[in-house]
Amino acid sequence: MPRGSSSKRERQYEHIKESGKERGMSEGRAKEMAARTVNKERAQSGESKT
């Protein structure tokens, strides 16, 4: 997770990562999906510059 991420985003990342692993994704793919999703949410809510 990027520096400056809130604890809410940390929890969201872990939840999405675990969901991906439960669906049969590899560890790496689940992490990637979780990071992309959290970054997208941060950008849409104005928490990041991207």
3-state secondary structure 5-32: CCHHHHHHHHHHHHHHHHCCCCHHHHHH
In a domain, 50, yes or no: no
In a domain, 22, yes or no: yes
Domains in the chain, number: 1
In a domain, 1, yes or no: no
Token output for 6: 């809130």
In a domain, 49, yes or no: no
Structural domain range at position 39: 7-43
In a domain, 35, yes or no: yes
Percent of the chain with pLDDT over 70: 90
Would you tell me the crossing angle of helices 7-22 and 27-44 to the nearest 10 degrees? 140
Q: If pLDDT is split at 50, 70 and 90, which confidence band does 2 have?
A: low
For range 22-35, the mean pLDDT: 96
The closest of 46, 31, 42, 33 to 9, measured between CA atoms, is 42
In a domain, 31, yes or no: yes
Question: Looking at the whole model, is its pTM more than 0.85?
Answer: no
In a domain, 48, yes or no: no
The single-letter DSSP state of residue 1 is -
